[in-house]
Amino acid sequence: MDLTTVRWLASPEGHAALHDLPEYSESDAVGQASRLRASGLSPEQVAALLTQKRLRARAQGKFGEFAEGMLFTADGLEQASRLEVAATHAGRYASASLATVHDLGCGIGSDAMAMSALGVTVHGVDADPLTAALADVNLRPWPDSRARTGVAEDFEPPLDPLHSRTGVWLDPARRTPGVTDHSGRTRRVFRLDEISPSWDFVVSVARDVPATGAKLSPSLPHDIPPLGTEAQWTSWQGTVLECTVWWGPLVKEAGRSARVLRKGAPPVEVDQRTCEDDPAAAGTLTDIGAWLYEADRAVNRAGLIGTVTGTVSGMELEAGLGYVTSDLAVDLGHARRFEVLEAMPFSVKSLRAWLRERGITGLTVKKRGIRLDEDQLRRQLKIGRDAGSGESATIVLTRVAGTQVVLVVRPIDPASD
């Protein structure tokens, strides 16, 4: 797709053609293409229409009904903040009563759209002309917000950002342009010195414009964010998506925080204020209590396991794994609770015997701190994923004081992994 095709898609003719096109079907793609060509459309227009219908269907999971009014590229869709996360970002700027936000590296415009929907005027730039053009189309419902081609490094901060109520949002590229992996997706970069614009540039912008936020990798080390900032790790359905660093009036509580997002549940935030320092760790299997808590991975990445141990008067099974044991039953929005039915040293032979004695033929396997091939383990246990005619069980493979253990548990809350 090129800029000419984007302009056509955004035109009344292109918009109508895309709206009238049936849902994308792989089995009927050739037939759809033939019918579109017969109607007088060019090969480029036909390819663009089919691609957009396919990407819109995929985007439903990220953007819901808003996907029907957006244009995408495959990489742009993958890298865009999902609706729930973009709303989190936008809420910070709106709550700080900012009038204007410069989105430096706007991508296809998901964050800019969320901010615009809350009444903030967004000036977006993206180094890729095609991506910038798509973002500008996606921002059409908010005429004051626009996107254009440009590089973040050309940003000139206002002389008085506080008086002008101006903020900056940066989403540095964490992929290598032109380099793809085995699936054809642009290769990710994980080192802070490989992002673009650079971390030094991000920090310099924050010095000039106090209301600055930057979306970074969830693997960001705890000692990187400057003093006075807030580093927040965010998860969706148990998967950690990002660490965002906030400066100035966008900070809720300086230090580390975690935001847990799950479908159908209100957001949950925890920070260092409620975090127990140096939580105790279990020494042996005899320390395992009646309940096991699995901290959300954002909480674990943020180093806030103490928000779980302190609340339930518990102990970590082993530092860094995110599992807490306790004899107290407490419902937590940032940790799943399991009833512990059995705790034993991990041995394939003994576990197989335990399962056979109880007629268990279906197994859910959870693991942290142990590397093993789950399919191979199932073959060794002679057990599948479906219960069939027998009972099902959930096991947790992990470590206690360096020793591999297996816990047989019963999930209490319905949250999915």
What are 123-137's pLDDT values in tens digits?
999 999 999 999 999
Strands 100-104 and 166-170: parallel
179 vs 148, more confident? 148
Per the CB < 8 A criterion, the answer to whether 111 and 169 are in contact is yes
Sketch the domain layout of the chain as residue ranges: 3-72, 77-272, 285-411
Mean pLDDT, range 393-410, rounded to an integer = 95
What is residue 145's predicted lDDT score, i.e. its pLDDT?
A: 98
Mean pLDDT, range 208-212, rounded to an integer = 96
Rounded to whole angstroms, the Cα distance separating 89 from 112 reads 10
Region label for 294, one of left (φ > 0), alpha (ψ between -120 and 50) or beta (otherwise)? beta
Q: Decide: helix, strand or coil at residue 262.
A: coil
Please tell me what DSSP assigns to residue 362: E
What is residue 193's predicted lDDT score, i.e. its pLDDT?
A: 78
pLDDT band at 327 (very low <50, low <70, confident <90, very high): very high
Number of Cα atoms under 13 Å in the Cβ half of residue 133: 15
Residue found under tokens 């942290």: 368
Segments of 219-290 assigned E as strands: 230-236, 239-246, 255-261, 268-271
3-state helix, strand, coil in the chain (%, to 5): 35, 25, 35
Nearest-CA neighbor of 280 among 405, 159, 400, 143? 400
Please tell me what DSSP assigns to residue 277: S
Q: Say if residue 417's pLDDT is above 50.
A: no
Distance of CA 75 to the CA centre of its chain: 15
Per the CB < 8 A criterion, the answer to whether 139 and 121 are in contact is no
Nearest-CA neighbor of 213 among 250, 185, 186, 188? 250
Rounded to whole angstroms, the Cα distance separating 93 from 114 reads 10
Its CATH class, for the domain covering 285-411, is alpha beta
Please give the structure tokens belonging to residue 232: 């927040």
Q: Say if residue 316's pLDDT is above 90.
A: yes
In percent, how much of the chain has pLDDT > 90?
A: 84
Per the CB < 8 A criterion, the answer to whether 309 and 323 are in contact is no
What is residue 184's predicted lDDT score, i.e. its pLDDT?
A: 56
Do domains 77-272 and 285-411 share one topology? The answer is no
Q: Say if residue 3's pLDDT is above 50.
A: yes
Q: Say if residue 89's pLDDT is above 90.
A: yes
Other C-beta atoms within 10 Å of 95: how many?
12
Nearest-CA neighbor of 358 among 341, 372, 337, 339? 341
Compute the mean pLDDT over every residue in the chain, rounded to the nearest whole number: 92
CATH among 3.40.50.150, 3.40.50.10420, 3.30.450.20, 3.40.50.920 for 77-272: 3.40.50.150
Mean pLDDT, range 363-387, rounded to an integer = 88
pTM of the entire structure? 0.90
pLDDT band at 414 (very low <50, low <70, confident <90, very high): low
Other C-beta atoms within 10 Å of 134: how many?
27
Q: Say if residue 177's pLDDT is above 60.
A: no
Mean pLDDT, range 15-44, rounded to an integer = 90
Q: Say if residue 314's pLDDT is above 60.
A: yes
Nearest-CA neighbor of 404 among 353, 336, 363, 351? 351
Phi, psi dihedrals of residue 117, rounded to the nearest 5° = -65, -20
Rounded to whole angstroms, the Cα distance separating 167 from 92 reads 10
Q: List Cβ neighbours of 204 (8 Å cut-off, separation of 6 or more).
A: none
